[in-house]
Amino acid sequence: MNVPGDGPRPLEGVRVIEMGSLLAGPFCGQLLADFGAEVIKIEPPGKGDPMRQWGRHRKEGRTLWWPIIARNKKSVTLNLREEEGQELARRLISGADVVVENFRPGTLEKWGLGYEDLSAANPGLVMVRVSGYGQTGPYKDQAGFGSIGESMGGIRHVTGFPDRPPPRVGISLGDSLAATFGALGAVTALFHREARGGRGQVVDVGIYEAVLALMESTIPEYALAGHVRGRTGAILPFVAPSNTYPTAEGDYVVIGANADTVFGRFARAVGHPEWAEDERYATHHARGEHQEELDGRISAWTEDRTGDEVLEAMREAGVPAGKLFTAKDMVEDPHYAARENVVTVEDPEIGAFPMQNVVPRLTGTPGEVRWTGPTLGQHNDEVFGELLGLDEEERDALRERGIV
């Protein structure tokens, strides 16, 4: 999967200027870079993006998150709080297709880098603006992180068990969702510009909105039926059997046998073909009504067997089932290997660096992880010199004044 296709990468020739920091904006830039866009990441001189320090580190002090979130990008340093830095940013953006930013609304306008200013010189510009609450509305000026967007978007309320406070998902879900919708908006706007002869436009993504988009039928459940969906632990109410079941080894497997035909195969696999004819379990509705009882009987069967024995029985019967994968499982799994889901890229400091590969998979013009996250300002001379035409003396003067 990491081998390029016969033609150019699908976003080759698209220039993206990435501003902002941390996760929501940078993950959007990563997705675009994965498919061949030239992503020039602007970072403040000195420390750069805080993502350079976030996450677990190796003993040598190198973060293991930065090489992924900044993969395939070019890094330049630029002080956007100074007029000279703002002017250089305008020059860069005048030749760009997309700007990605995740500052608080109004910040770019304060620097003279708002969409109205930039699109006057570059009418085809697409600007992806990711923020906590979007660019409009009464909350737009409030600080908003991904965790707050997950709360406002509703996913925190339905995550976990009803007898304890709602937990967070173990990843930065809200930021990543907003970034993914931002990347979708970018390519949609580019398609409109190129195929329809349209102008550029703003892609406005609030983190809470990206979470809300995944919330299934929770809105009409309340508005039309008066029901507020809550936390239900490892199950979906009235969908059975679909749960996490214990094994003899003390770990768990997930089994999904809630469709009628699948449940028939499942019942035979566990040695109880009569369950498929039992009025308590014969239909989807009946199994939902007797969910707790049915899950108890299934648990009694699984906890007498190892996880491998349970999964083998399910595979032979054609019943969806799986183990709870850890990173160790992912690295060692043959299906992961066959699909090249984990790719190893050479990092100049760490060496061989395994990471998740590009998604989705395009058969003709696939994405590719070409390099890991760059060092701070690694591409200053290339971008400011070759692209903007600043000579070495000019670049040195900008460094001395703290502009780059």
Q: Where are the domains of the chain?
A: 15-214+339-400, 242-325
Task: Tell me what the mean pLDDT of segment 72-96 comes to.
Answer: 96
Answer yes or no: 333 catalytic: no
Q: Supply the angle between the helices 173-196 and 146-153 in degrees, to the nearest 10.
A: 90
300-323: b (≥16 Cβ within 10 Å) or e:
eebeebebeebbebbeebebebeb
SS3 at position 255: strand
CATH hierarchy code of domain 15-214+339-400: 3.40.50.10540
Going by their DSSP bridges, the two strands 351-356 and 321-323 should be labelled as unpaired
Cα–Cα distance measured from residue 42 to residue 377, given in angstroms and rounded to the nearest whole number:
9
- Provide the pLDDT confidence category of residue 358 given band limits of 50, 70 and 90: very high
SS3 at position 127: strand
Task: Tell me what the mean pLDDT of segment 143-150 comes to.
Answer: 88
Give the range among 5-9, 85-89, 97-101, 343-347 with minimum mean pLDDT.
5-9
pLDDT at 54: 86
Backbone angles phi, psi at 295, to 5 degrees: -60, -35
Does position 1 have pLDDT exceeding 80, yes or no?
no
Token pair for residue 301? Answer: 């069967």
Helix (H) or strand (E) holding 282: none
Cα–Cα distance measured from residue 114 to residue 21, given in angstroms and rounded to the nearest whole number:
17
Q: Closest by alpha carbon to 373, among 345, 401, 342, 336?
A: 345
Cα–Cα distance measured from residue 374 to residue 396, given in angstroms and rounded to the nearest whole number:
21
Residues 6+ apart with CB under 8 A from 285: 238
SS3 at position 133: coil
Q: Closest by alpha carbon to 32, among 153, 155, 107, 128?
A: 128
Q: Does domain 242-325 have CATH number 3.30.1540.10?
A: yes
Q: What percent of the chain lies above the pLDDT cut of 90?
A: 89
Q: Supply the angle between the helices 24-34 and 173-196 in degrees, to the nearest 10.
A: 50
**56 vs 108 pLDDT, higher one:** 108
Q: Exactly one of 34, 175, 204, 347 is catalytic; name it.
A: 175
CB-neighbour burial class of residue 335 (10 A; exposed 0-12, middle 13-18, buried 19+):
exposed
pTM of the model: 0.91
Q: Which residues pair with 98 in a beta bridge?
A: 16, 126
- Provide the pLDDT confidence category of residue 197 given band limits of 50, 70 and 90: confident
Backbone angles phi, psi at 14, to 5 degrees: -90, 125
Task: Tell me what the mean pLDDT of segment 152-174 comes to.
Answer: 92
Task: Tell me what the mean pLDDT of segment 96-121 comes to.
Answer: 96
- The overall average pLDDT reported for the chain is 93
Does position 2 have pLDDT exceeding 50, yes or no?
no
The amino acid at residue 351 is G
Total Cβ atoms within 10 A of residue 46: 10
pLDDT at 59: 59
pLDDT in tens, 49-78: 999 988 777 756 778 999 999 999 999 999
Distances (CA, A) of 324 to 159, 249, 253, 255: 17, 13, 6, 11
**62 vs 182 pLDDT, higher one:** 182
